[in-house]
Structure 1
Amino acid sequence: MRPIRLPEPPSGSSGVPEIFEGGVYSVIRRAVIIGNGSAGAENQCVGLVRALGLSERQSFFRVTRPSGGVNEWLHWLPVSLHKTLYHLLRRICGESRLPMTARSNKLAPFPSENGFKLGLSLVLEADAKHIAKLARETFEKEGPLLVVASGRDTISIASSVKRLASENVFVVQIQHPRTHLNRFDLVITPRHDYYPLTPQGQEQIPKFLRGWITPLEPPDEHVVVTTGALHTADFAALRNAASAWHDDLSPLPKPLLVVNIGGPTKHCRYGADLAKQLLCSLENVLEGCGSMRISFSRRTPPKVSKIIMNRLGSHSKVYIWDGEEPNPHMGHLAWADAFVITADSVSMLSEACSTGKPVYVIGAERCKWKFSEFHKYLQERGVARPFTGKENISETWSYPPLNDTAEAARQVREAIARRGWRLK
């Protein structure tokens, strides 16, 4: 009797029955995002999921902390310990005597960020057991679950999901968790997170603190290293923004200079002094601009915005966004000829540097520690230049644009393939 021979599986992935590629159980069709309430951190998760093609099938969970009163002094604690201490204090002191409020753990609206609509109307309180149960119960029907988290408060939740449902999830942690990288399938972190391992960084951090605030080892196979932050400003989003903002921005005289002003941070401190320096430099280049559009962030101190608005608010070439919707940020990225950005925001700089257009930075000399290293690297790569007020804004210069989000997505796909799975 002649042996029965099964047909060889077709080559390539297009049109291949799933039985030849590991079956339905090996295909990732949906994603869960775990956020921490920070727009910069959550936007990175959204950008990665979008780049992986799963934005139409994503669910959003958020880790929340108690807020108000003494809670503002407890944010340095791990989130689980913070919540435990909060409930203990409520029991001891009584709710009426304790001047604290808790953020609701019920459904909460998800805001649009940077003019990009996420298509999400509700956000659930992050619970590792619930997410793991969801992954296990839907595995046979829906396949594995991609979990993407970002920020310190999400580390314990994401790692618990991995521990509770390791056979059903692929967990990506954005921003370095410092230790125990094997708790995740992949970690995505910017290059400057490894600054503490350099000789300069070692000198700045006491040895007994290093295990708490620094990576302990150089990147290994678990780590994808980027230059800046991930974001949603990909080619398709900018093309859509160019169309949506065409009537408002295309008629503006060229060159169009977009100025994005953030706010001071503990590693990049400034106030009215930098605002005055920025104002002087902007007035110097204004004559060479066709038009200038200025945006403040939610972190911009009133004393900073007031200085800028008092001097430039009535200038015929200048438009200052009033903070009301719609947010022109994506339109600015699409239509600007050049950018001036304060040094405090890695996210805003990463987005602007992904366009390939001239990017000028003000205040980089005020940044410390790893953020100083970030600005140094941008300048060494020719991606950004210091803003001095002597620039000719009509002068164009180019560089290989930052492509961190697309490159990170490629490496996530490869890591998933090594697991024996694939993305739908």
Structure 2
Amino acid sequence: MTKRCWVISDGSAGMVNQAWGLAETLGYEVELKKIRLRQPWETLAPYLTIGVGHCLAKGSDSISPPYPDLVLASGRRAIPPALYIKKKAHGQCKVVYVQDPRISPSHFDAVVCPQHDGLTGENVIQTIGATHRVTSEKLAQARADFQHLNPQNQSVLSVIIGGSTKKYIMDMDFTHRLTNDLSQIAKKGWRVLVTLSRRTPAAVAEKIKSLPSSIYVWDGTGDNPYFGLLGLANAILVTCDSVSMISEVCATSVPVYLYPLPKVYWKHQQFHQSLLDLNRVRWWNGSLELYDFTPLAVNQDTAAKLKRLLTL
């Protein structure tokens, strides 16, 4: 009988993907429970841990019994309902938080957290980067589905561009450097395939979309080619602003280059360095080399550790 897992989240794609990908790797049947919080939990989560039976706002999915075998919660808003389930399930349902909960890990059966966050504890599983939904099977299917993006069967450089955050700024100096680099790579015979993020500043996006037509830039219409770009790639260039994006591209079987931004967040520096130490990534210096590396298996390693810790 297939075991069941609820993924609890406010619906943010990054949060859902981390938990869902781990549940898929564990082999569980997955159901998303999308929640909204009432006040004061909306403002005070994760720190307000009392009265959590009253935390859900209208429009939330039901978290009533029967409970699943496993709950994977991700994002601060998922913490109050996860704690409620842990209390009511009386040990029949394991409750795991994915990311740094900002409260004691002892509130959960286990916590899965990137090692650069520095969280430790008997029930803490540290990961290099984030869990995700990238698998070799999905990439093979996407490669077939999006083969039309490489009609001349050239070597492919897939370019994954994030955007500005509280810690990073994508300015026009960055944009000029990037567009010049991509033009030079295309002139050397590479097929350059580019996808942008919802976080990409409008001015940056417009400049990238004005690249020569020989460079493919997804315009946001039709099926999202993200997995196709990962599957088609012979090498990947990714901006350094997102742990999730970098973790996903490092799940592929091709070399990964990090494209620098003007400032690098110190926690991300630790993450970048861990990947550099493993020779899984290299910083972009203007030239492409198809170097050898050890594949990164974050999902598989995390699932194995979680099974041992919780006897799943």
TM exceeding 0.5: yes
Q: Which residue of 2 aligns with 1:133?
A: 65
- Give the alignment partner of residue 130 of structure 2, picking from 229, 249, 256: 229
2: CA distance, partners of 1:415 / 1:257: 40
Unaligned runs of 5+ in 2: 49-56
2: CA distance, partners of 1:230 / 1:380: 19
- Give the alignment partner of residue 369 of structure 1, picking from 237, 256, 266: 266
- Give the alignment partner of residue 255 of structure 1, picking from 139, 149, 155: 155
After superposition, where does 1:19-418 map in structure 2 within 5 Å?
Answer: 29-54=3-28, 57-64=29-36, 77-79=43-45, 105-106=58-59, 125-126=60-61, 131=63, 133-135=65-67, 145-194=69-118, 215=119, 219-246=120-147, 248-249=148-149, 251-310=151-210, 312=211, 314-316=212-214, 318-364=215-261, 366-389=263-286, 391=287, 393=288, 395-417=289-311
Q: Would you say the 8 A contact 1:173–1:186 is kept in 2?
A: yes
Q: Which residue of 2 aligns with 1:14?
A: none
What value does the CA root-mean-square deviation take over the aligned residues? 2.5
Q: 1:368 to 1:75 in 2, by over 3 A?
A: farther
2: CA distance, partners of 1:289 / 1:402: 29
Q: Would you say the 8 A contact 1:364–1:375 is kept in 2?
A: no
Alignment length (residue pairs): 304
SS in 1 for 2:65: helix
Q: Would you say the 8 A contact 1:342–1:363 is kept in 2?
A: yes
* Paired AA for residue 64 in structure 1: R
2: CA distance, partners of 1:305 / 1:255: 24
Post-superposition CA distance 1:306-355 (Å, at most 9, x none): 11122x1x332x11111123111111111111111111121121111111
Query: Hey, which of these two has a bigger chunk of helix by percent?
Result: 1
Unaligned runs of 5+ in 1: 1-26, 83-103, 107-124, 136-143, 195-214
Post-superposition CA distance 1:139-169 (Å, at most 9, x none): xxxxx52101111221222122112213221
- Sequence identity percentage: 32
What TM-score, normalized by structure 1, do the two folds share?
A: 0.66
2: CA distance, partners of 1:330 / 1:62: 24
* Paired AA for residue 413 in structure 1: K
Q: Would you say the 8 A contact 1:37–1:64 is kept in 2?
A: no
Q: 1:252 to 1:49 in 2, by over 3 A?
A: farther
Q: Would you say the 8 A contact 2:42–2:77 is kept in 1?
A: no
1: CA distance, partners of 2:157 / 2:75: 32
Shift of 1:382: 1.4
What TM-score, normalized by structure 2, do the two folds share?
A: 0.89
4+ aligned runs moved over 3 Å, structure 1: 79-82, 249-253
* Paired AA for residue 63 in structure 2: I
